[in-house]
Structure 1
Amino acid sequence: MAAQRPSLFTRGLSSLSQSSDPNSPSVTTPAEQRDDAKRNFLKAMRPLPTQHYWNVWFDRQAKDQQSNNGEYHAQLEQLGTQIESVQDFWRYNNNTPVDQIKMRESIYLFKSGFKPIWEDRRNILGGSWTFRVPKSIGPDVWTRVQLLAIGEKLQDALETGDQICGVGLSVRFNSHLISIWHRDSSKKKSIDALLEAVLEDLPPELTPKPDNYFYKRHMDHQGFTVPPELQAVVDSHKAREAAAAAKAKTDEAAAAEPAQPTPSGPEIVEVPPSGEK
C-alpha cells in the first residue's frame, strides 16, 4: 500500500486556497499570497506606545515690519496628530525633512500639555541646553535627541521633581540649534545629568565641541517677559534661589576656615591641707 502524501496545513492563512482546481476563483498567485501575508502581519503588529503623548510644533519667525531693530515675532502652530507610539514617531520623523526648514524657523517635539514658549506656566521656571551643530549632521543629532526624549532616557537623568518638557531644532545660517527643555532650572544635578546623557549617546562624529553647547534659564533670555499672572511665581522662585546661594556661600566659607584649637582650661593644682608635708 502506497504511503499517503501529507497535505499542506493552511488553516488560518487567509487567501491561501486549499483547492487544487486551477480554474477556481479562490486560487491566487504566489505574489498575491505574499502580499496578503504581509498585510496580515502588519495588521497583527500592535503599536509600541510611548510613555507620554507628544505633539509637534512649528515656529515660523517672520521679521517684524514695524520694528527698526530687526526683531522677530513667533508664529507658533501645532502640526499633525498626536504622537502616541513609536510607529507614530517614525511616521512623523521620516516625513519631516529637516533640510527644508528655512532660516530662523524651528520645529519642536513637546510633551502633550506643554508649549515651546519660555513664558508658558509649565516652562517659566525652567531652562534648556542648546547644542550648535553643523547642518551636515544636524538631522542625525536631532533624531537621536528626539529618541532620547520619547524613550524617557532624558527624563531618567533628572532629579526627583523635575520634568522634561520637550526638544527643539532651530535653523541658523550655517548650523542647527538643538535644544532640550526641562522644568526646574534650580536643580543643578538635573542640568549636569542632561548634558551627560546626551554626550554619552552621541557617537564621536556627531558630538559637538565643548564651546558649542551651553545652558541657559528661560528667564535669562533677552526677550523673556513675565506674564502678570505669573509674576509672584517668578519672584518667589528668585527669592528661594537667592537664599540657597547665600547659604551655599556661607557653608563654603565655613568649610574653608581653619579649625581653631580648643582652648584648655586653667591647670588645677591640688594643695595639701595645712600641716601636711
Structure 2
Amino acid sequence: MNNKFDALKDDDSGDHEQDNSPPKDSEKEKNENEEKDQNTTKRKAVVPGAGEHPLQYNYTFWYSRRTPGRPASTQSYEQNIKQIGSFASVEQFWRFYSHMIRPGDLTGHSDFHLFKEGIKPMWEDEANKSGGKWIIRLRKGLASRCWENLILAMLGEQFMVGEEICGAVVSVRFQEDIISIWNKTASDQATTARIRDTLRRVLNLPPNTIMEYKTHTDSIKAWEDFHGLVNASGGR
C-alpha cells in the first residue's frame, strides 16, 4: 500500500468534484423525489473514479483554528471546525493533500483532522464517545513528517485493528505540536496496545518517547471541571 501511495504522490490530475452534468428529463423527477426522501441535506457520497485505487473507508479532512484563551463551548467548537472535503481513493487523497499547507507551516492555534466519513472530530460523536486517543507531544519541526507518516499508515490500514480507528489529529501550538490517533473502544486494552505499538513503529519514535492514552470521557470531565472553575470565579 505504501508503494501505491508513493507512486501516486505527484499525481495531481483531475479534480475531486463529482460528475455534475445535468440529468436527463426522464431522470429529473426521480432525482427530485430521492432528494426529498433524503431531506436534501445529505451530500452525495464520494466514490472512487474510474481506474482509481479505492480505500477501505471514505475519509474527510477538517480544519480548525481558534484564539487561545478565548472561552470555548461544545457548540462554538463544532461551529469552528471547517470541512475541507472527503475522498474515497488514493488518488483523491493526494489531490487534497498536495494542495494543503503542511502542519509545520501553520501558525497560531490550528488543527488538521482526518476522520472516517460520517465521524465528526468531537469527543461527543457517537463513534468516539466510548473511545480515546493516543497523544504524542512533538518538539517544533517534526509535525509535518509525523503527520504524513501517521495518516498514510491509517489510510493504508497498517494498524490492523478492524474498524477501531476513528481518525487522527495534528494540533499546532506555540511551544509544541501534538499528534493523536482516536479509536472507538477505550476499554479494549489489547487494541489500544496494538495501536500504540504500531504508532511507535510507523513514526519511528525513540524508545523513551512519552505516549499518553486519554479516554474521551476523561477529556470531557476535565473540560467541564475547568470551565466550571472559570465560571465559578466569575470568568464567564
Q: TM-score range by the shorter chain?
A: 0.5 to 0.7
Asked if 1:55 corresponds to 2:60, the answer is yes
Determine which of 97, 111, 114 is the counterpart of 1:93: 97
Alpha-carbon RMSD across the aligned residues, in angstroms, is 2.5
Partner of 1:185: 186
CA separation in 2, counterparts of 1:211 and 1:163? 24
Partner of 2:88: 84
Equivalent pair of 1:127/1:218 in contact (CA under 8 Å): yes
- Give the letter for the 2:210 counterpart: N
CA separation in 1, counterparts of 2:51 and 2:140? 35
Task: After TM superposition, give the deviation of residue 95 of structure 1 in Å.
Answer: 1.5
Determine which of 129, 132, 148 is the counterpart of 2:134: 129
Partner of 2:223: 223
Determine which of 207, 210, 213 is the counterpart of 2:211: 213
Unmatched segments (≥5 aa) in structure 1: 1-38, 40-44, 226-277
CA separation in 1, counterparts of 2:210 and 2:181? 14
Partner of 2:232: none
Equivalent pair of 1:133/1:208 in contact (CA under 8 Å): no
Residues 120, 133 of structure 1: alpha-carbon distance in 2 compared, 3 angstrom cutoff: same
- Give the letter for the 1:199 counterpart: R
Task: After TM superposition, give the deviation of residue 71 of structure 1 in Å.
Answer: 8.6
Determine which of 147, 151, 154 is the counterpart of 1:149: 154
Tell me the SS of whatever aligns to 1:79: strand
Residues 209, 61 of structure 1: alpha-carbon distance in 2 compared, 3 angstrom cutoff: farther
Aligned identity (percent) is 28
CA separation in 2, counterparts of 1:216 and 1:91? 33
CA separation in 1, counterparts of 2:150 and 2:176? 16
Can you list the C-alpha shifts for 1:166-199, whole angstroms capped at 9, x where unaligned? 0110011232211100000000001110011111
Tell me the SS of whatever aligns to 1:53: strand
Partner of 1:109: 114
- Give the letter for the 1:170 counterpart: S
CA separation in 2, counterparts of 1:202 and 1:146? 11
- Give the letter for the 2:90 counterpart: V
TM-score by length of 1: 0.56
Unmatched segments (≥5 aa) in structure 2: 1-12, 14-49, 226-236
- Give the letter for the 1:124 counterpart: K
Residues 92, 209 of structure 1: alpha-carbon distance in 2 compared, 3 angstrom cutoff: farther
Return structure 1 stretches of 4+ with deviation > 6 angstroms: none
Partner of 1:266: none
Partner of 2:31: none
